[in-house]
Amino acid sequence: MLSVSASGQRTTTEQKKEKFITELMKKMTIEEKVAQLNLITPTAGTGPFKTRRATEKLQDGTAANVLSMRGTPQRIHERAAYAENTRLKIPYLLALDIIHGYKTIFPIPLGLSCTWDTLLIEKTARIAAVEATAMGYHQTYSPMVDISRDPRWGRVMEGSGEDPYLGSLIARAMVKGYQGDDLSDETSLLACVKHFALYGAAEAGRDYNTVDMSRQTMYQYYLPPYKAAIDAGAGSIMTSFNDIEGIPATANRWLLTDLLRDEWGFEGFVVSDYNCVQELIPHGVAANYKEAVRKAIDAGLDMDMASEGYTTFLKELVEEGTVTEKQVDVACRRVLEVKYDLGLFNDPYKNYDPGKAERVTLTKESKDIARSAAAKSMVLLKNENETLPLKTNMKLALIGPLIDDQYEMFSMWSPDGKADSVVTILEGIRQQNYDLVSAEGTFLTDEPGYLRNFGYYDEDEQREKVGQALKLTESADVIVAVLGESRNVSGEAKSMTNISLPRCQRELLKQLKATGKPVVLVLLNGRPLTLTDDLQFADAVLVAWRPGTMAGVALADVLFGKYNPSGKLTMTFPRSVGQIPVYYNHKNTGRPFKDGERGTFKSRYLDEMNSPLFPFGFGLSYTTFNYSEISLSDTLLAGENEKLLVNVELSNTGKYAGEETVQLYLSDAVASIVRPVKELKKFEKVFLQPGETKQVQFLIKPEDLKFYNHDLNWDWESGEFVVYVGTNSRDVKSATFVWTK
């Protein structure tokens, strides 16, 4: 993490750091250097074991970094102070998985990405940093920037969807939010970008599985968000579980050295994911643990998470001459440099204050932002007959197993969230109703509409539960059914082959619709679902994801029209699992097929349409928006210095004020390699009052036309281009221009 002046010279601060670390390392033994590369975990993590004798290892100096040390600020401080018992008193680095909030829990990252609001996302990361650093943590294993096109993979909930452009903007925003402008600031939380690399493309959507793709696909679609996060200043990066071109990421020198350091210039440290070094053995690229350690250090892995292979074998490998001490020194220096940048050598406890955590946690400001983030993340998929927003004088039947469950508003990645701070869906709707009208005539219930288990149930008991739910709807004007996934079926090691609603939920939904009353389906989910057969049984469908601390009030804001939904999908919803992978920026084929066309020998299914159920960028509003035809400043351009202005008029033609995310896509009609049918290049969020019209203008430069060609050169080619502007990747206006070099 070196800084240089405009003239390219090292700054005085950088020289001071280098001198300090050089002098420190002269005093260090090989054992002390290796200890800096050892990350232990005193509690069970996402792997097969936890560290034995963790306290002893911290006290004797054989471990210098800790994952998942939990407790009160005082207890964390006491453990961090174990470093005072070591010979050189080098401070520990304390890390934790802080994914979508620490104590104040925001929507899952996939939900946050649907806001298309990078400033808001940055604010959520900043709040997480403030809360976590007050407890004593220095590093978070976030952002997860893996591009994914397969909703069967449980970890899609942890990322930002399928698009590299939007994913890159969000990656930058999160790094900036976590780290701030100065790593030494007491509220700065070191970002760790993961999982490097390509983890979101695991075959069959099965976690930890292999990845196989061309380098052109890597560079064009999957690598950009990692690069964006690094360019934003991320100080650490985590390797992925998968192999790349036959070599696991943790032992892949091309990935960790040639690409990451030599090509991209990354200067922070690289940490393995949980136990990845040892897992080189079952991967089949190392015959034993010792060989696995050698391959990892040779590849450029600086820090070993959980497996303790480095502390077991590195010294021995150096003594044998198989690994040089210089290799250990390089890795050790990288870790020490980050600790220096964090200010830990000046203040090992980052201005420890046992009362600070309580003062900065779950503040009114953080909860207000959580409420706004949850509302903005929700995506309206259907709204027939203006079922939504609900009228406050309606009698409302609220049905579902999770409507009064605080913990279920979280995800797998919010173990430190305070469940008792959550406003449940039941409570949030009660508050909203009572705030707007008197309680008289308002019908609410917290009776579950079906058994809480997912797919396995006693049919007699199920019939009884459904009967109870139907009875509760008798005096209601409208039914709100809150269904979807449990938090236990999305996240790490939560891959699924069936991503539809469970059978018991589908039966309930059918019977609710059969009452003849309007049905609003609210989905709690961590991934896109296959809803093709279920849409007919709901008049309105709202995706709420896993909304976090302020779940209930945010959902009530949307249902009752206090907030007009503006969320747009960042991951395609398939019609069926058989379509997967399905994504908007696919390539054309020699025999392209569009739904509704005739033709047997085309690239199509016999039993399903090619198009998805809901495309990337899709999301309805309570109002309606009209797009004019596209106006271009020119249609014939030449040279690198030209600029193209793309104009469209957006009008609010409905009766509610609302915000629309205007999306611009480009298509390269003819190129030296097959190009995608379209790619997101720009977007702008526009707020309009009813009847209001605004001109939206985008600036296109040659940089926006560039792509990685067959030789992996980032360049553009002369030719014809199509620009699309619209409300999602499918429903767009188009115009054509020619640009030559």
Which residues participate in catalysis according to the annotation?
Answer: 273
Q: In what order do the strands lie in the sheet with 732-740?
A: 636-638, 732-740, 719-726, 658-668, 679-688
Task: Fill in the amino acid letter for 590.
Answer: G
Cβ burial of 359 (10 Å; 0-12, 13-18, 19+) is: exposed
> What's the rounded Cα separation, in Å, for the pair 536 and 531?
9
Tokens 């934003």 identify what position?
Answer: 232
Query: Are 559 and 528 within 8 A, CB to CB?
Result: no
Q: Where are the alpha helices (DSSP H) in 575-702?
A: none
Q: How far apart are the first and last CA of the chain?
A: 38
∠590-591-596 over CA atoms, to 5°? 150
> What's the rounded Cα separation, in Å, for the pair 543 and 238?
31
Find, among 477, 554, 541, the residue nearest to 509 by Cα: 541
> What's the rounded Cα separation, in Å, for the pair 570 and 573?
10
Tallying the residues shown for the chain, one arrives at 741
Cβ burial of 608 (10 Å; 0-12, 13-18, 19+) is: middle
**Residue 201 per-residue DSSP state:** G
* Spatial CB neighbours of 403, under 8 Å, sequence gap ≥ 6: 424, 425, 426, 446, 482
> What's the rounded Cα separation, in Å, for the pair 60 and 55?
9
Strands (E), 222-273: 236-239, 243-244, 247-248, 269-271
Query: Are 171 and 426 within 8 A, CB to CB?
Result: no
Q: At residue 298, what are phi and psi to the nearest 5 degrees? A: -65, -35
Tokens 């090292």 identify what position?
Answer: 10
∠160-166-171 over CA atoms, to 5°? 65
> What's the rounded Cα separation, in Å, for the pair 575 and 610?
9
> What's the rounded Cα separation, in Å, for the pair 286 and 311?
18
Token code pair at residue 70: 């939990």
> What's the rounded Cα separation, in Å, for the pair 741 and 706?
12
What is the SS3 assignment for 467? helix
> What's the rounded Cα separation, in Å, for the pair 162 and 612?
14
In angstroms, the Cα distances linking 50 to 53, 56, 195 are 10, 14, 21
CA torsion sign, 304 to 200 to 486 to 125?
positive
Token code pair at residue 320: 């044998």
Return the half-sphere exposure (C-beta side, CA atoms, 13 A cut-off) of residue 440. 1
* Spatial CB neighbours of 558, under 8 Å, sequence gap ≥ 6: 375, 378, 388, 389, 542, 565
Q: At residue 734, what are phi and psi to the nearest 5 degrees? A: -140, 155
In angstroms, the Cα distances linking 422 to 417, 489, 558 are 9, 20, 17
CA torsion sign, 333 to 338 to 343 to 347?
negative
Tally: H helices and E strands in the chain: 20, 26
Token code pair at residue 630: 């596209």
In angstroms, the Cα distances linking 539 to 329, 438, 521, 545 are 64, 27, 8, 19
